[in-house]
Structure 1
């Protein structure tokens, strides 16, 4: 199984990505999904994500391959956006397909926990007040990632 990994500026389409992951496959019993959205907390106008092209995709592909080694996945898609993202827009999409739901759900949770703190992105929040703030990793997110071993 070779995961699909994309880092892109454009929005993603959940229905199209789910259809692509399962097209012509009779071995897929379930697809677990997670979509991370940009929230408008505290007057947030936009979230700006920066990354190093190539390095980011390789890092995400490595962790997706690790997920495939831990769980019997039949497919996996990870799409992470970069650039300026407005409240309500999607930031990240994780799809994990397997013959059985448990593997798909656990792999999806593992991937998003890693992406939240381990993916090489730099996040800056832009506020209506004209101020910007870099986003730091939260301790609880780090703990969830570390919980996977």
Structure 2
């Protein structure tokens, strides 16, 4: 199933589908923006104190995720008013090595705002959105070490 980008300036989504990196990049382009920053978090073969990671399984409190992602996009715009478009997409389900689990993108007239907004977006998403990962590795299966509720948004 192909994801369809929105017609407005914010794209937030939780999906079991492969994240369309090129489509997200194309969507975030804007004639008034001279900078696009796109961060893609991918599944790697190790985690803190864990080697031989083979896959991750993401679960989410789905009814909460969309609103939280939209709030983060709104905060990106409040802190960096020149942001033209913002995208925050995350996968759920089983992901193999090198697959993208999360994408955050921002476009702005200048690189400082695009970099800072995208950095804030991914850091805040990881700290506050109820998405958890289970790691399958050499030593067994465990929930990611950062799978914990965090009440405060970083930098607030």
Residue 35 (1) aligns with residue 40 (2): yes
2:67 matched residue in structure 1? 58
Structure 1 or 2: more helix by fraction: 1
Cα shift at 1:136: 2.2
Superposed, which structure 2 residues align to 1:11-90 within 5 Å? 11-22=18-29, 25-41=30-46, 42-71=51-80, 72-90=82-100
- Map Cα deviations across residues 81-138 of structure 1 (whole Å, 9 max, x no partner): 1111111111111110111111000000101111222111121111255x21011229
Cα shift at 1:75: 0.4
Contact 2:9 2:84 in 1 (8 A): no
SS at match of 2:146: coil
| Structure 1 alignment gaps of length 5 or more | none
1:121 matched residue in structure 2? 131
Q: TM-score normalized by structure 2? A: 0.82
SS at match of 2:86: strand
1:10 matched residue in structure 2? 17
- Map Cα deviations across residues 54-85 of structure 1 (whole Å, 9 max, x no partner): 31111111111111111021001111111111
SS at match of 2:56: strand
| Structure 2 alignment gaps of length 5 or more | 1-7
2:3 matched residue in structure 1? none
2:121 matched residue in structure 1? 111
The list of structure 1 runs, each at least 4 consecutive aligned residues, that deviate by more than 4 angstroms after superposition, is none
Contact 1:81 1:92 in 2 (8 A): yes
SS at match of 1:26: coil
Q: TM-score normalized by structure 1? A: 0.86
User: Paired residues, what number?
Assistant: 140
Cα shift at 1:13: 2.2
